[in-house]
Amino acid sequence: MADKKRVANLKLQAAKCRQNVLRMVRAGGHGHVGGALSSLDIVTALYFDKMNVDPENPKMEDRDRFLLSAGHKCLAQYAVLAEKGFFDKEVLDTYGKLAAKIPGHPDMHKLPGVEANTGALGHGMSIANGMAMAGKLDGKDYKVYAITGDGELPEGSNWEAAVAAAKFGLDNLVVFVDNNGLQISGDVTKVMDMRPIDEKFKAFGWAVKYIDGNDMNQILDALDSIPEEKGKPTMILCDTVKAKGLSFGENKAGFHFWNATEELLDQAEKEMAELVSKLEKEKEELV
């Protein structure tokens, strides 16, 4: 079990990052909030607890790498990069504007901290493989983390990457599956049923862990035990809630992409501000 203060701090950071997501929705009027909010706790734990990164030097040679394969979840990446100090928070207010540094899918040429352009689903795991293999060949000990979506897994290129990662023994590679049960057009199992995801990865030669991906304790425990098995890539299958933190949107396919109304956005901002104050108090009580 992770230390209480460590968990309390990360929960607070995640809530602040959710506020950043809402700030972008306020600016642009819309966004892919569903997958951003389901994966956000994982991205927060990576950047605020695990990854060796320097916001002042985003290209630092030995940095850990992060690939958001499901690039439409980018509001999570932008929110966390901003909170971590990779860029000025005022940039969040440009979401949805022409030529913004934070477009609808991440662009490595526009925003520091973005390792690759993603959004055409199915590519992140292959890019992550290449980075992990380069690390091995160069004798570096950085790790490569990638997030893929459950609705992204039917893309065949993922499975080419999965077999190659095992063949090359990439135990510096960690892939999270944001298993929120929904994709753009509804229930993932109705669109293309990929279950059992864990057994499939195991059969491909991966070490697999199964957690609640919105539970900071479980995320940290999984991250603390990487590599799960020496010589094997790790897959962390994360059960998550789509639109986690939007009281009126959780687990609803309609919140894959949210065209926000003033009224609901006001409500979400209020609820998130209350959560931040509650978590601030909880954190202070532990000091």
In eight-state DSSP terms, residue 263 is: H
Inter-residue contact 234 to 226 (CB < 8 Å): yes
In one letter, which amino acid is 53?
Answer: V
The pairing of beta strand 182-183 with beta strand 65-68: unpaired
Q: Which does 49 bind (CB under 5 to 8 A by kind): ligand TPP, Mg ion, none?
A: none
Residue closer to ligand TPP, measured from CB, 38 or 172: 38
Cα(205)–Cα(192) distance, rounded to whole angstroms?
23
Helix 74-84 / helix 33-45 crossing angle, nearest 10 deg? 40
Q: Is 34 in the site for Mg ion (CB under 5 A)?
A: no
171 vs 178, which CB is nearer to ligand TPP?
A: 178
* Integer Cα distance of 111 and 86 in angstroms: 9
Interface residues with ligand TPP (CB under 6 A) are 34-35, 70, 72-73, 119-122, 149-152, 180, 182-184, 188, 242, 256
**Which residue stretch of 118-126, 172-180, 261-269, 273-281 sits at the interface with Mg ion (rule: CB under 5 A)?**
172-180
The closest of 265, 269, 249 to 257, measured between CA atoms, is 249
Whole-angstrom distance between the N-terminal and C-terminal Cα of the chain?
Answer: 18
Is 117:106 a contact under the CB 8 Å cutoff?
Answer: yes
> Of the two residues 43 and 279, which places its CB atom closer to Mg ion in the complex?
43
Q: Which of 113, 119, 149, 233 binds Mg ion (CB under 5 A)?
A: 149
Cβ 150 to ligand TPP, closest distance in Å? 5
- Burial letters 11-41, b for 16+ CB under 10 A, else e: bbbbbbbbbbbbbbbbbbeebbbbbbbbbbb
The reply on whether position 180 binds Mg ion by CB under 5 A is yes
- Using the contact rule CB under 5 A, the part of the chain among 13-21, 103-111, 181-189, 198-206 near Mg ion is 181-189
Q: Report what 72 binds from ligand TPP, Mg ion, none; CB cut-off 5-8 Å by kind.
A: ligand TPP
Minimum separation from the CB atom of position 101 to ligand TPP (A): 20
Least Cβ distance, residue 184 to ligand TPP (angstroms): 4
Smallest distance, ligand TPP to C-beta of residue 137, A: 29
Residue 163 or 184: the one with the smaller Cβ distance to ligand TPP is 184
Q: What residue ranges bind Mg ion (CB under 5 A)?
A: 149-151, 180, 183
